A and B are shown apart, each in its own frame.
Chain A
Amino acid sequence: MDKLLKILSENSAYTTAQLALMLNEPEDYIKAQIKEYEDSGVIRGYQAMVNWDSVPDAGVMAIIELKVTPQKEKGFDEIAEKVMMFDEVSSVYLMAGGYDLALVVKGDTIQDVSAFVAKKLSALEGIVSTATHFMLKRYKEGSVALVDVEEPTDGREMIV
């Protein structure tokens, strides 16, 4: 895998000067490379890894399993693209296995999410069934721990 992408995917807060040092490339090259990734859509954005559980009134999240009827020609894409347009939906995945689409949905309250499922989602043509799972606690997202597990202490004690 491209080393630059790997580093940025783990932590996008490095300066281009730092990235240039780490990758042993001129800073201009790094800048150009990042721009190319952004322009071509390989890099789609940069986000802070927020632990919403620690933010008061941050709302609720649910994972929703969808069974859908694939459409002629477009298969699952058409319905997936419709579903992803809702602001409430933060992630959409096509799955292999017991159901077709997996959604991550955010709302202010459980009622909000329920209403979204009942009124907006189920109303879409092609949705066969939904199963909504509310999240109780988030432990890890995007490779980042969201709970204060005791940092594995550096077990090394010898100095020299």
Chain B
Amino acid sequence: MDYSSKINDSIKSVKPSGIRKFFDIVNEMDNVISLSIGEPDFKTPWHIRKAGIDSLEMGRTWYTPNRGFAQLREEISNYMKRKCNLTYSADSEVVVTVGGSEAIDIAIRCLVGKGDEVLIPQPSFVCYEPLTIMAQATPVIIETKMENNFRLTVDDIKDKLTENTKLLILPFPNNPTGAIMEKKDLEAIAKLVEEHDLMVLSDEIYSELTYGGKNHISFASIEGMKERTIVINGFSKSYAMTGWRLGFACGPKEIVEMMTKLHQFCIMSAPTTAQYAAIEALKNGDDDIAYMRDQYDMRRRLVVGSLNKMGLTCFEPEGAFYCFPCIKSTGLTSEEFCTKLLHAKHVALVPGSAFGECGEGYVRLSYSYSLKHLKKALTLIEEFLKEL
């Protein structure tokens, strides 16, 4: 059968992930020292796992309300107040989703459609562009630059604005660059957002992982922006709960209402066990976050300092758990660099080009690994550079 004619044109037009070919090679090799994984190496803290186990032992295995348990939404509302000084109604302005990913998907689908343009800063996580295409809208890529510390600037946005621009994606703290946005950066953008009547999807999944005393600032906390912003967050990165698949969105009730409607039809409700665990995480997990952040920070300094010493210019990442060294000095493309490093030293990094064309000339190195593992990998990378 000619399945091509049976398949939706939008999904056909979505480019497959550029790194698949590279990682097909990685997967066939033995003894690879990987620095490529984008999730915490920590296990979910025990008391959080226990809350999930307890709920299973009690037989709490049913669906939850579509929006998520009321108690969980209450805790999320408290969390947003505690961390960002934002007030969201647990009843109408919070929806619990299957990871931050689902929240991004339903937010985009509820906000844009045919003829709308979505501004997507890159390098960034790989999902925004495909999800925009699936929503029939048009992705417009904005390149962030190393000379701006990979922050998004008003000038970058201005060049890309048209009368069809409707939504701006703000992916900070950023995967893969580790860039964050400070208050003044956000305020400048807020002005532009107001002037051009835009909505903003602020993906703040790495909000708990910022370093050097720079606390995360939610875009919604900038004056006038709460009514224009859908904040996406979740449990994966902050509480090392990736596999539980639990995230949430907060925003104006009219939009959260629509997102909940879509969520109800495509998902029903987010995983029940995970929701019980998440209640425990929000109630008693602040110390776990602090501990893990401290560990990441130690690794971050070791990795960034070592890379700079060996001549791979590395902008100082202030968030998430990645660094994004520039490899242009080697004269290789991102993919060539990664392939050669893999064959020569069995160390796997992710080519920057996987996160958008403007990621070319960079590689992403995840420091979500033990110090022992990082130390070994850094020694091998240094050897590789000397032998080039």
Contact = CB atoms under 8 A, between A and B. Distances in A.
Interface of A: 3, 7, 11, 14, 17-18, 21-24, 154, 156, 158-160
A24 B41 contact: no
B302 A159 contact: no
Given A11-B372, A18-B375, A159 B37 contact: yes
A24 B34 CA distance: 25
A21 B36 contact: no
A159 B23 contact: yes
A160 B350 contact: yes
A21 B37 contact: no
B306 A23 contact: no
A37 B126 CA distance: 48
Nearest to B354: A160
A158 B306 contact: no
Chain A to chain B: the 7 pairs with minimum beta-carbon distance, closest first: A21-B305, A22-B298, A22-B302, A156-B37, A21-B301, A21-B302, A160-B38
Given A11-B372, A154-B34, A160-B354, A21 B39 contact: no
A143 B346 CA distance: 28
Contact of B17 (A3, A14, A156, A160): A160
A158 B371 CA distance: 21
B380 to A, nearest CB: 15
B298 A159 contact: no
Contact of B39 (A7, A22, A24, A158): A158
B125 interface: yes
19 contacts: A7-B371, A18-B302, A18-B306, A21-B302, A21-B304, A22-B298, A22-B371, A156-B39, A156-B41, A158-B37, A158-B242, A159-B19, A159-B37, A159-B38, A159-B350, A160-B17, A160-B38, A160-B125, A160-B175
A39 B36 CA distance: 42
A7 B295 CA distance: 11
Interface residues of B, number: 26
A18 B309 CA distance: 11
Contacts of B38: 158-160
A154 B301 contact: no
Interface in B294-317: 298-299, 301-302, 304-306, 309
A11 B17 CA distance: 39
B147 to A, nearest CB: 24
B298 A23 contact: yes
B383 to A, nearest CB: 16
B302 A154 contact: no
Contacts of B37: 154, 156, 158-159
A49 to B, nearest CB: 13
A156 B19 CA distance: 17
Contacts of B354: 160
A14 B299 CA distance: 13
Contacts of A3: 298
B305 A160 contact: no
A160 B19 contact: yes
Nearest to B22: A159
A14 B298 CA distance: 13
Nearest to A20: B305
A31 to B, nearest CB: 16
Contacts of A14: 375
B21 to A, nearest CB: 12
A81 B121 CA distance: 68
B49 to A, nearest CB: 14
A24 B19 contact: no
Nearest to A13: B375
B82 to A, nearest CB: 27
Contacts of B299: 22
Contacts of B305: 21
Nearest to A3: B298
Most buried by B among A7, A23, A154, A159: A159
Given A158-B39, A159-B36, A24 B301 contact: yes
A154 B36 CA distance: 12
